[in-house]
Structure formats: structure tokens, C-alpha cells
């Protein structure tokens, strides 16, 4: 463990698997006390907490469905009660439901918007009561905000475009309070959200470096934005995609 984020408190939504779990581990390794939410992966969540505690860190897992604003608000409150305040919010929870526009179920549209967009706003709104000057808010967008890439991703692209736009607006709102707000925009990454090997095989040739990203690489960008060296980065959407958008 290092001390870059020593005495800092972080909350990561959607932190039990994939990129979220890598972010939780990385922030904890930098010295932060980390709370994270999970929807249903209780075994994975407990394992992450035990792993961090065994390494001498502090971690708290909170069950919360990101589609439920009350659950998100409760997670923020529990984090502040457990650790005293919140210095870093990583609004990472997200879902992907693919289908083409002619067949897209409006219930799926509503749920994806609720998790990918509304939950970001709810978490930010709730965390401000516990976050002071020097706070960091980091949202997880996607390169699909700029390039959908494949059929069946129109709604997902819409939600991630909304995250990028909201991030810019929040940076304007919160900058005068000494709080920065930035988005990361991962490209295709080796997680279960990116489908099976056949889908990944189609994607690799589209990336100049010839491979998908790794969750640890995405987490490293989050750690930078959460740390002291990123104090002048605000309102940015930082792409990390191996050149996918080049």
C-alpha cells in the first residue's frame, strides 16, 4: 500500500466486479478507506472487503440497487457514518442492455437510464452534504458517447453521452466549491460486459494496439483523478481506449 490517498474516504458505486472492483482495490492500495455498493454479488463483495482488510486497509460493502434513488442515498449516508466524511465519489455502476431500436423494450430503456444516468445525479446530490473542498467526483462514461461502434447500442450510447454532458455541467456547478468533476471513457475492456470471446475477437482489430483494455489500467486513471496531482483537471472526459477512437 502507498499513502497517496492516505486518510481519504472513497465511495465507489458498482464496486464488486469488473472495472468497479479494480477501482476499489486500487484506491484502497493508495491508502483510502473505501466503501462500495453492489447489487447482488454478495460473495464477491465480501471477498473484496476481506482482501483489503487483510492488507491492512479499510473497506465497507453496501448492498444497493443503483436504479433505486433511496438505496443510493442510503449508501452515501452509511459511508459517511462509517468513515466520517466522503472525499472521493466514483459513480461507476452501469448496465448494458443491447437491442435495436425497433425491438427495444421501454422498460429496459427506463432501467438503463435509471442506473447509468439518474443514479449518477442522485449520488452526486447526496454526497455533497459530506464532501468539502478538495473533493473529487469521477463518473464512468464510455467511448460509445462518441462512437456507438456496433448495432444495438443506441440507448447505451445515449446514457453515456448524458454522463459526459452532466459531468461538464457539474464541473461548472462544483468547481467554485473546490470540488472537481471528471469522467473516464473506457474503450473495450476485458470484462463480462463486453460479451463472449466471439465479440471480443471482432473488436480487437478495431483497436490500434491490438488488444482490449484491462480493468487495472482503467483503475489507474481513476486513481490519478482522485489524487492530488489532478487538482487542475476539471470537467474533462478522458478517453482510455488503446486508440479505438483515433
Catalytic machinery residues: 156
CB proximity list for 143: less than 8 A, separation 6 or greater: 149, 185, 186, 187, 188, 239, 241, 244, 245
Distance (Å, whole) CA 36 – CA 219? 14
Give residue 231's Cα distance to chain centre: 19
Hey, how many other C-beta atoms are within 10 angstroms of the C-beta on 103? 7
Are 167 and 180 in contact, with CB atoms under 8 Å apart?
A: no
Residue 12's H or E segment, with its range, is: strand 9-13
> What separation in angstroms does the CA of 186 have from each of 44, 73, 92?
23, 26, 11
Strand partners of residue 88: 10, 136
CB proximity list for 151: less than 8 A, separation 6 or greater: 100
Q: Where are the beta strands (DSSP E) in 55-207?
A: 59-63, 88-91, 136-140, 180-186
Hey, how many other C-beta atoms are within 10 angstroms of the C-beta on 72? 30
Amino acid at each position: 500500500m502507498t499513502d497517496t490517498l492516505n486518510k481519504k474516504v472513497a465511495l465507489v458505486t458498482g464496486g464488486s466486479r469488473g472495472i468497479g472492483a479494480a477501482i476499489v482495490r486500487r484506491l484502497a492500495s493508495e491508502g483510502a478507506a473505501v466503501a462500495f455498493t453492489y447489487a447482488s454479488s454478495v460473495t464477491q463483495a465480501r471477498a473484496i472487503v476481506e482482501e483489503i482488510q487483510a492488507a491492512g486497509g479499510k473497506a465497507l460493502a453496501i448492498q444497493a440497487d443503483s436504479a433505486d434513488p433511496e438505496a443510493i442515498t442510503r449508501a452515501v449516508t452509511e459511508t459517511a457514518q462509517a468513515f466520517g466524511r466522503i472525499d472521493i465519489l466514483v459513480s461507476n455502476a452501469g448496465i448494458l442492455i443491447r437491442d435495436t431500436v425497433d425491438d427495444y423494450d421501454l422498460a429496459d430503456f427506463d432501467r438503463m437510464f435509471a442506473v447509468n444516468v439518474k443514479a449518477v445525479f442522485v449520488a452526486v446530490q447526496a454526497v455533497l452534504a459530506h464532501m468539502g473542498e478538495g473533493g473529487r467526483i469521477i463518473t464512468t462514461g464510455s467511448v460509445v458517447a462518441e462512437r456507438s461502434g456496433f448495432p444495438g447500442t443506441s440507448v447505451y450510447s445515449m446514457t453515456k453521452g448524458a454522463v459526459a454532458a452532466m459531468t461538464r455541467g457539474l464541473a461548472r456547478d462544483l468547481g467554485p466549491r473546490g470540488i472537481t468533476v471528471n469522467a473516464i471513457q473506457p474503450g473495450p475492456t476485458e470484462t463480462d460486459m463486453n460479451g463472449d470471446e466471439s465479440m471480443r475477437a471482432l473488436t480487437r482489430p478495431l483497436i490500434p494496439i491490438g488488444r482490449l483494455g484491462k480493468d487495472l489500467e482503467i483503475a489507474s486513471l481513476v486513481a490519478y483523478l482522485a489524487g492530488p496531482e489532478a487538482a487542475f483537471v476539471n470537467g474533462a472526459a478522458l478517453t482510455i481506449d488503446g486508440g479505438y477512437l483515433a
